Structure 1
Amino acid sequence: MAPSNPDAPPLRNDRHLGVDDLRLRIERGEIDTVVVAFTDMQGRLQGKRLHGRYFLDHVLGHGTEGCNYLLGVDVDMNTVDGYAITSWERGYGDMEFQLDLSTIRLLPHLPGSAMVQCDLAWPASSSGGDHQPVVQSPRTILKRQVDRADELGYVALAGTELEFVAYQDSYEAASELNYHGLTPVNQYNVDYSILGTTRIEGLLREIRNATYAAGMNVEGAKGECNLGQHEIGFLYDDVVVTADNHAVYKTMAKEIAAQQGRSITFMAKVNEREGSSCHIHLSLRGKDGSIVFWDDDRDDRTELYDQFIAGVLATMADFTLLYAPNINSYKRFADGSFAPTAIAWGEDNRTCAVRLVGRGPAARMENRVPGGDVNPYLALAAMLAGGLHGIERGLELEPPTEGNAYTSGRPTVPRTLREAREVFTASEVARATLGDEVVDHYTNMADVELAAYQAAVTDWELRRGFERL
């Protein structure tokens, strides 16, 4: 149904809901629950489930609120020190959840449910005041880089290729087993195997069809290398739309697996075999839709494209913390693993951090550094910040790496979270493009993870030292 309100935002596609359509479905009793959600630092959807009538009467016009500690907790939801915007001393007040009405979608795997995604703002009574955006919010960080691109005359398009490992065990059973000895849904490498995906098609098909009905443009599914590893791909789109869909897809995939008594993990490295990546494809277009990365007359890359790639490479170490945000992320960076270590680019070269693919309108860069645990808003913001830095500075692109980048002698990405943290917090480019408030906030996030890991005694240490040391 087309919205009757001329001020209503345009629908992203015909599977999204307009405000009038949502209202009508609630009044008919077809929808009784509206999930109001934002994406937190860890890339997770957080928010509330609201009764449909309450949503219409009290939330639709002005949003809702939630505790500001949601941008200041660790992955276990523990309150931690060091964040400027949220603390015991500041009283853990509220943030406003500002509804983005262009994101309304059905949740077909959940009866009677719809979702709307949100931006975060400070209430007028807070020190931020006057409904100003929470600049540390991942969605706001990305939107500010989108605004930078707009000022230069460009729009950004992106697609994320997100891998996961699926298990026959439920999440509850996996927890009881302490995540050891789980049964993967495939017992051998099923990369591109039709038989391998057929074996788990009941899960893959449900995720594909449910995400399509929820407004995502699904391409397909394929097997991957690790036992039980698969990938479901989605079409290229506006960068914010892609990040929104990425966050919803991860949640939906886990929920659907749980409904089937199975579990899915998007950890970057779940065992000693192949890790799970999140290759990110990105390109710029003119605001009129014109192709700016390719010169048809020369049938070659434009200078703008080269400058953008040069900027991404020049800032790769600066922004590795945003591409690889967890301790586990760095276990994936291994030579000869298809996870890149060398800060290099190549034409269709999967050993490089940046792989260039496509020609003409399809010309785009692929960032192969992020893993399945990445926050898409932060990674896309970092890629845009780096690429626009290259354009603004007119950086020159170095020659491509031919052959095996693992043995090229090129500089490498930081190999630990601590090293990435040090480079990020000291980065002049990060502070100039993202702002001190953002850099300090995510530096503290790294510090929290490092402190937690430093205090942990691992299974590896126990096995290695319990008897023999």
Structure 2
Amino acid sequence: MPIDAFEPHPVVRLLGKPSAHFTAGDLVRAVEELGLRQVNLRYVGGDGRLKTLAFAINSRDHLLEVLTRGERVDGSSVFAGTDTDASDVYVVPRHRTAFVNPFGERPSLDVLCSFYDEDGQPLSYAREQIVRRAAEALTQETGMVLEAFGELEYYLVDEPDRIYPVEEERGYQESAPFSKGQRVREQVLGHLSAMGVPLKYAHGEVGNILEDDRQLVQHEIELQPVPLEQAADNLVLAKWVVREVAAAAGLEATFAPSVSSEGAGNGLHIHSRLVRNGASTIVRKDGINDTGRRLVAGYLSAAKALTAFGNTVPTSYLRFADGDESPGDICWGEKDRTGLVRVPLAWNGDVLPGMLAHANPGSAEPVPEPAIHPQTVELRVGDGSADVHLLLAGMAVAARRGLSDPTSLELAAKLSTADHDDFEQLPTSCAGAADALESAREMFEADGVFPAALVDAVIESLREADEAVQDVDLSGDDAAREELVRRYWHVG
């Protein structure tokens, strides 16, 4: 397969093959020819953050050993609740994930890893294994693959500008010099592209917040649809890159769900679609079909429990209360920005040629058809505190139920904003999310997708977070609210 001339991934260009076909031998060659001096094994820990195990390369044999054998790590230091007397686990590189690290002191090749237990079996409570099991269970039952991508929102924090000061709540797709942090945004875009993360675009978001001693300017990166495990990894990588680039520019980046009482918080909306044999199964000529409606129903039926994975800190529920477009009603609509699930406007192949011709008089260029129809279903529950691997795995579980439940079409009709206006509400606290997960845990634990011990740990963490704010008066105490926001400033 020839490599596209626009391919940004240096290892793909060098090897002349897509990353899905990388081998350990390929990566040895890439390290040698690109002049790299270090290999970093990366993995996602129990806190959802990217971890690093660095190896200084001292020989070809050593490099090949690291890339094939991986390493042992202390699971009790990675995952809360692991017994220290049986905590050694393996991390094994997934060669297809390799990329050249754009940061660090030494030129390095980074490779994401999967966890395995002492018997060589996938580690049941490792984040990437939960997503894999959830995706495989859905495909085995339905023959369809769930693809997803996120809209990642974040704020850059700096001192107020004297020249071209930002205007509050006027940041949507703003350009420099009125947009602050555009250089950071573009650097993030470049790094992620070169790492093999498929991107749609990056832009300024609505949230501009001016305070006495600082300004907070909101940005968004929207990714492209990929299979579920890769989608989760891509979001973790995107957060890491945003923080690295921001720090290098002397700025603070935050994905916190609530950053101030004066403006919008950071959401994490997840788009998804179902694919079979290279074609979307959720669309018809005038919108989503019955399969798409069953997908919507699955998400809505599990929505309360999904907050346990997508809204993990007390300030998540401040965002729900403060935001003009933050979801609260468990409902859905087409092109409606208030529903918990939204079916966004998709490119209509019938009108595109006319628009192109009108915008470009005299042009008769054809409009290329995308490989897979771009229509998605957008779940708007998550925020910057989300444990993205668990949220995406939970979405796969919910999708599977929606596709198999004979009452799904009836539920979708009942919860449509086009026909109704009185809906159930999402939980209003971490404790409420914990209760919802407790009630629905059988669905998530079915077929061993979510280990019971991990569900217990999520519930316990949510209840502890709720207890920590029981005595905090947020109704009129600005100082108490600010302290709470700062406590959960660097989530996810």
Please list, as runs of the form range in 1=range in 2, the aligned pairs for 1:410-429 lying within 5 A after superposition.
410-427=423-440, 428-429=442-443
2:148 equivalent to 1:146: no
Identity %: 22
Pair 1:200–1:147, CA change in 2 (3 A): same
What code does the residue aligned with 2:97 have?
Answer: T
Which residue does the alignment assign to 1:5?
Answer: none
Please list, as runs of the form range in 1=range in 2, the aligned pairs for 1:58-457 lying within 5 A after superposition.
58-73=65-80, 83=81, 86-87=82-83, 90-91=84-85, 93-110=87-104, 111-123=106-118, 130-151=119-140, 152-168=142-158, 186=166, 188=168, 189-195=170-176, 198-227=179-208, 228-272=217-261, 273-286=263-276, 288-296=277-285, 299-334=286-321, 337-359=324-346, 361-394=373-406, 395-396=408-409, 397-399=412-414, 401-402=416-417, 408-427=421-440, 428-432=442-446, 434-453=450-469
Cα offset, 1:24, TM superposition: 2.4
Cα offset, 1:446, TM superposition: 2.3
What code does the residue aligned with 1:94 have?
Answer: D
Deviations 1:188-242 (A, max 9, x none): 3311212366542221121111111111223322111222111122222222222
Cα offset, 1:248, TM superposition: 0.9
Which residue does the alignment assign to 1:76?
Answer: none
What code does the residue aligned with 1:380 have?
Answer: L
What CA distance in whole angstroms lies between the structure 1 residues aligned with 2:197 and 2:476?
Answer: 41
Pair 1:263–1:335, CA change in 2 (3 A): closer
What code does the residue aligned with 2:444 have?
Answer: A
Cα offset, 1:245, TM superposition: 1.3
Check the 8 A contact 1:197/1:223 in 2, yes or no.
no
Check the 8 A contact 2:151/2:221 in 1, yes or no.
yes
What CA distance in whole angstroms lies between the structure 1 residues aligned with 2:275 and 2:463?
Answer: 37
Pair 1:303–1:134, CA change in 2 (3 A): same
Check the 8 A contact 1:334/1:340 in 2, yes or no.
no
Which residue does the alignment assign to 1:80?
Answer: none
Cα offset, 1:187, TM superposition: 5.4
With normalisation by structure 2, the TM-score equals 0.77
What CA distance in whole angstroms lies between the structure 2 residues aligned with 1:292 and 1:211?
Answer: 29
Structure 1: 5+ residue stretches without partners: 3-7, 74-82, 124-129, 170-180
What CA distance in whole angstroms lies between the structure 2 residues aligned with 1:45 and 1:312?
Answer: 27
SS at match of 1:118: strand
Check the 8 A contact 1:355/1:365 in 2, yes or no.
yes
What CA distance in whole angstroms lies between the structure 2 residues aligned with 1:325 and 1:163?
Answer: 16
SS at match of 1:120: strand
What code does the residue aligned with 2:70 have?
Answer: G
Structure 2: 5+ residue stretches without partners: 4-14, 209-216, 349-372, 482-492
SS at match of 2:43: strand
What CA distance in whole angstroms lies between the structure 2 residues aligned with 1:40 and 1:206?
Answer: 26
What CA distance in whole angstroms lies between the structure 2 residues aligned with 1:41 and 1:341?
Answer: 28
Check the 8 A contact 1:311/1:390 in 2, yes or no.
yes
What code does the residue aligned with 2:401 have?
Answer: H
SS at match of 2:454: helix
Which residue does the alignment assign to 2:50?
Answer: 45
Pair 1:278–1:404, CA change in 2 (3 A): farther
What CA distance in whole angstroms lies between the structure 2 residues aligned with 1:109 and 1:46?
Answer: 14
Check the 8 A contact 1:47/1:66 in 2, yes or no.
no
SS at match of 2:401: helix
Worse-matched range after superposition: 413-422 or 24-33: 24-33
Cα offset, 1:447, TM superposition: 3.8
Pair 1:209–1:324, CA change in 2 (3 A): same
Aligned residues: 422
SS at match of 2:309: helix
Check the 8 A contact 1:167/1:182 in 2, yes or no.
no
Which residue does the alignment assign to 1:78?
Answer: none
What code does the residue aligned with 1:239 have?
Answer: L
Worse-matched range after superposition: 357-366 or 270-279: 357-366
With normalisation by structure 1, the TM-score equals 0.81
Cα offset, 1:44, TM superposition: 0.6
What code does the residue aligned with 1:431 have?
Answer: E
Cα offset, 1:153, TM superposition: 0.3
SS at match of 1:250: helix
Cα offset, 1:441, TM superposition: 3.0
SS at match of 1:362: coil
What CA distance in whole angstroms lies between the structure 2 residues aligned with 1:369 and 1:328?
Answer: 14
Worse-matched range after superposition: 102-111 or 379-388: 102-111
What CA distance in whole angstroms lies between the structure 1 residues aligned with 2:116 and 2:469?
Answer: 32
Corresponding residue to 2:31 among 6, 26, 34: 26
Check the 8 A contact 1:315/1:429 in 2, yes or no.
no
Deviations 1:90-126 (A, max 9, x none): 4362221121111011122444022111111112xxx
Deviations 1:1-43 (A, max 9, x none): 99xxxxx9x7347xx9653343124335711122211112332
